[in-house]
Amino acid sequence: MASADDKNYDDINVTPMVDLYLVLLLIFIIMTTAGVQGMKVELPKASKGAVSELGVPKMQAITINNQGKIALNTVPVTLAQLEAKLGPLKAAHKDLPVVIRGDRQSQYQGIMDVLDALGRVGVDNIGMATSTK
């Protein structure tokens, strides 16, 4: 007859070993992300003339309020003035970016009039500003 000491140990419980590996992995992840902070360097300063010579067009913002008033970069304009001001900018910069900000209470026709004016000038890089709230 077999005694209690003669048990067959075919099954090995690996759960504590897996727990240990997961804890070590967690410690490794935390320590490597905490240790990667980079070096401190003094960044060089560019002259003010270098930025203006890049030739990158500044984004133009067109705002239409709920009374149908149009503003180009916070300056009130009419549709004719809008076309007159954007025409030379479009001629100077092929991909002139324009963002239209329309009030949610504004008439849709006012936004369509601005889009028509942009089409006549040839602006095709148009964005519509929205809110996530």
For residues 54-68, give the mean pLDDT: 74
| Residue 61, in any domain of the structure | yes
Quick check: 113 pLDDT over 80?
yes
The CATH number given to whatever domain includes residue 100 is 3.30.420.270
What are the residues whose beta carbons fall under 8 Å from the beta carbon of 57, sequence distance 6 or more? Answer: 89, 92, 93, 95, 96, 97
| Residue 10, in any domain of the structure | no
| Residue 40, in any domain of the structure | no
CA 17/CA 25 separation, integer angstroms: 12
Domain that holds residue 103: 54-128
Two structure tokens written together for 130:
């929205």
Percentage of the chain modeled with pLDDT above 90? 3
CA 82/CA 118 separation, integer angstroms: 9
Tens digit of each residue's pLDDT (9 = 90 or more) over 10-23: 777 888 888 899 99
| Residue 92, in any domain of the structure | yes
Q: What kind and span of H or E run contains 22?
A: helix 15-35
Q: What is the DSSP letter of 74?
A: T
Q: What is the DSSP letter of 52?
A: H
| Residue 64, in any domain of the structure | yes
Q: How many domains does the chain have?
A: 1
| Residue 22, in any domain of the structure | no
